Amino acid sequence: MKKQILFGLFGLLLLQSAFAAGTHYEMRVDGLACPFCAYGIEKNLKAIEGTANINVDLDKGLVSVDIGEGKALTEEQMKKLFDDSGFTYRSMIKKPLE
């Protein structure tokens, strides 16, 4: 039992360090008016391996997401993702997760 707990804690530490070494993306998106309609964005971002902490700010037209180490989101990928979700991608800024 103690061994399992130790392994669990170790796993959590690894996960935390993976995201700690990952990237935070903040994307400007136009057309975000209703929360219900934005669900497609959450679903499509979740389908990308390694994504976490998805947040949508409707008033500022911002969508943010974290992605783990060794993975990246591209402009082309986001343009298509937001188009498939029914919105218009404008730009992104990214910064390393601390």
Among 39, 48, 91, 94, binds other proteins (CB under 8 A): 39
- Half-sphere exposure (Cβ direction) of 29: Cα atoms closer than 13 Å: 29
Q: Would you count residue 75 as binding other proteins (CB under 8 A)?
A: no
Task: Point out which span in 1-9, 10-18, 24-32, 65-73 binds other proteins (CB under 8 A).
Answer: 24-32
> Are β-strands 88-96 and 51-57 bridged in parallel, bridged antiparallel, or unpaired?
unpaired
Q: Which is nearer to other proteins, 63 or 67 (CB)?
A: 63
Residues 27, 89: Cα–Cα separation, whole Å: 7
Taking CB under 8 A as the rule, does residue 37 contact other proteins?
A: yes
Angle formed at CA 66 by CA 81 and CA 20, multiple of 5 degrees: 155
The correct pick among 23, 25, 32, 51 for binding other proteins (CB under 8 A) is: 32
- Please say which residue, 18 or 61, places its beta carbon nearer to other proteins: 61
Contact of 30 with 61, CB cutoff 8 Å: yes
- Our CB check for other proteins shows the closer of 6 and 84 to be 84
